[in-house]
Amino acid sequence: MLFRRLYELKAEEATRGGAPVVVVGPPGAGKTTFIEILRSRGVEAAEEAAGLAPETEEARRGGRRKRALRLLKRLARGGYVSRDRVEKELAGIRGADLLKAFDKLPRSFVKHLKKRYGGWSLYLFYIPPDVEYEEAKRLRAVMEEVGVEFRWFGLSYLPPGLAKALAEKGEDYVRRQLKLYKKLAEELDIAEDRLRKAAKAAESALESLLGQVKEVAGRLVDAVAPGVGVAASILTEVLTALLFARGGRNEFIKLVAGLGELDETLRCILAARLALALGLDKGAVEKALAALAGADVQKLAEEVKALKNAADRLWVEVKSAKRGLDVLFLEDVEMGGLYENFVVLNERPYVDLQEGLFPLVAGAALRRRRGVFWRSWRETGWPSWWGPRGLENPL
């Protein structure tokens, strides 16, 4: 077991006083292994990922509109408790002062701790990045090479699962995984930011998109392996967030495929980041990501084509509105959004005048007519051009 001595020393600290222990720490920090050590010593223990309050039973209930409104509310952020106030807020929990290691924590999480763990002892568990272990030094070197740092609400740490992967699978594996993680994390950050701005600027449009996504999510859940056990409502919100990533449908499929290729420890951390942004349970988000990664690629690509276009269109509209611009898409122009008398019928453009509909000049048609004109000039010397307005009529 890696970091065994460190785990044992921390277990001795955590069990002083005899009270039940709630272990709090960043995602992927080794809390589950630490809990097993505490329980092996006869200590009642529970774990909590810092900042992630579980979804309430009330939040799990309700129809599409209620869940959509809750998502919009969560995206607007619910406030934080600073490190200077967290100990006072959790006065009934011994060791709450350890949470000052974080810059801040979501108020919903602090309320959850206060309600659930009154009378308990709190212990903050994580592997410091500067810990003097050989495996930690090797992992730090690869992380620095790739340019990845693990921070959670300002607290830096090393994921022990990644150190284990380094020992068992080697530096090349961890290096590839960290590069993939870095790329996916950047894309998810962008997607989350776009989704939050869309929720703020275009609430009704986002609610409509959520309704469309829910239909697709339901079909995807039916096609998922029974053991995954993902809820359609959770998959709806996770899928909606991913749709706001950069690029088109192909890039979206690559993003989902990348999540499937990611090491379990790193996928857990990304799931926690997404769960924090959406206000969802981390375990449920992990199942949703697993369901997407395990879906048939061709079926997934077909299902999300229209959804990705709708999400991209919504983002363009939000971005343009912020700059005071009006954006018209092709279908808007075809329906007279740019000019009232401009219409498209059977994929051909027309001008609607009092005398009737007249086809607009098209580049290929003009080239054809020009050829006919010069051929007539050479043959007769008196070319003629007749017909109604437009160039889509025979000579």
* CB contact set of 154 (below 8 Å; sequence gap of 6+): 102, 103, 104
pLDDT of residue 394: 41
Place of tokens 């990533």: 245
pTM, rounded to two decimals: 0.78
The amino acid present at 335, given as its one-letter code, is: M
Q: Which residues, other chains included, contact 335 with Cβ-Cβ below 8 Å and sequence gap of 6+?
A: 343
In the block, residue with structure tokens 């409104």:
69
Spatial distance between the Cα atoms of 100 and 84, rounded to a whole number of angstroms? 7
- Residue 217 CA to residue 300 CA, distance in Å, equals 10
Written in H, E and C, the secondary structure of 74-128 is: HHCCCCEEECCCHHHHCCCCECHHHHHHCCEEEHHHHHHHHHHCCCCEEEECCEC
Q: By the 8 A CB rule, do 261 and 290 touch?
A: no
Digitized pLDDT (tens) for each residue of the chain, 395 residues in all: 788 899 999 999 999 888 999 999 999 999 999 999 999 999 999 999 999 987 655 555 555 555 555 666 666 556 899 999 999 999 989 999 999 999 999 998 999 999 999 999 999 999 999 998 999 999 999 999 999 999 999 999 999 999 999 999 999 999 999 999 999 999 999 998 888 888 877 778 888 888 888 888 888 877 665 555 677 788 888 988 999 998 888 899 999 999 889 999 999 999 999 999 888 888 889 888 888 888 888 888 888 888 888 888 888 878 776 666 555 555 555 566 666 677 777 767 777 777 777 777 655 666 666 677 677 777 776 666 665 555 444 43
Residue 227's pLDDT is what? 54
